[in-house]
Amino acid sequence: MIELAPSILSADFAHLAEEVRAASEGGGTVIHVDVMDGHFVPNLTVGPPLVKSLRKATDLPLDCHLMIENPDQFIPEFVDAGADWISVHQEACRHLNRTLHLIRNHDAQAGVVINPATPVDTLSEVLEIVDYVLVMSVNPGFGGQKFIPETVRKIRRLADLRLQRGLNYRIEVDGGIALDTVAEVVRAGAEILVAGNAVFGQGDPKTNAQKLLKAATEATLLKV
């Protein structure tokens, strides 16, 4: 099943509840929260207090994408604040197995993320213990960047590996997803589509979300 995960990074933070409501009316079913620490990525964003407020504003699952160093230190706090899904970067975790178990032990869905330059093979030993794999299709840190087409083959590879190994993780994609790129990632096997700029950048988030989901669903129908 295809799901749209609007990323609040491009939303108007002063009107977050309304922005999230509009995106969910347009078909968004997961709210993507980008957490950046100014070290792992060259930008700063939000932390557990915002997740706590968002938790009161929506019933949708909150997907917290941690672009931070030492994520173990903050995972319990994000779960307490209301995070349902937590993903950590392979590149940021010295003890990735431990970190993923920490997320699972807190009863959250555990995801692992790879940057554009990180091969899928670096995940071979953790694919059994993740609920989802997030393929970055831009270098993380900012919304509104250009989609990197070479990342599509990694989505395809993750879909193949899942079949070969009889696993059931879901495949999420994040970065530059818009009307002109969504069909390609869906056809490659992406199921959870993160979109920030394409939903909240300009115009009405509800209509934007509807259009994006429509394009994604049409692409699944054409999938061979």
Binding site for ligand DX5 (CB under 6 A): 7, 9-10, 32, 34, 65, 138, 140-145, 174-177, 194-198
Q: Which two tokens stand for residue 96?
A: 């990735």
The verdict on whether 34 is a catalytic residue reads yes
In the complex, minimum distance from the CB of residue 166 to ligand DX5, in angstroms, rounded to a whole number: 30
Binding mask of the shown chain, residues 59 to 78, with x at each position contacting Zn ion by CB under 5 A? ------x-------------
Q: Give dist(CA 101, CA 42) in Å, integer.
A: 27
Q: Any contact of residue 170 with Zn ion (CB under 5 A)?
A: no
Q: Which helix (H) or strand (E) holds 101?
A: helix 96-105
In the complex, minimum distance from the CB of residue 224 to ligand DX5, in angstroms, rounded to a whole number: 27
Catalytic hit among 63, 84, 131, 174: 174
Q: Do the Cβ atoms of 136 and 115 come closer than 8 Å?
A: yes
In the complex, minimum distance from the CB of residue 5 to ligand DX5, in angstroms, rounded to a whole number: 9
> Closer to ligand DX5 at the Cβ: 116 or 144?
144
Would residue 158 be called left, alpha or beta, if left means φ above 0 and alpha means ψ between -120 and 50 degrees?
A: alpha
- The region of 19-27, 30-38, 52-60, 182-190 touching Zn ion under the rule CB under 5 A is 30-38
Which of 34, 84, 131, 172 forms a contact with Zn ion (CB under 5 A)? Answer: 34
In the complex, minimum distance from the CB of residue 144 to ligand DX5, in angstroms, rounded to a whole number: 4
Would residue 141 be called left, alpha or beta, if left means φ above 0 and alpha means ψ between -120 and 50 degrees?
A: left
Helix, strand, coil % in the chain, rounded to nearest 5 = 45, 20, 35
Catalytic hit among 34, 37, 63, 131: 34
Q: Do the Cβ atoms of 19 and 161 come closer than 8 Å?
A: no
Count each helix (H run) and each strand (E run) in the chain, helices first. 7, 8
Q: Give dist(CA 181, CA 188) in Å, integer.
A: 11
The verdict on whether 12 is a catalytic residue reads no
* DSSP for residue 113: E
Contacted by 9, from ligand DX5, Zn ion, none: CB < 5 to 8 Å by type: ligand DX5
Catalytic positions are 34, 174
Which positions touch Zn ion (CB under 5 A)? Answer: 34, 65, 174
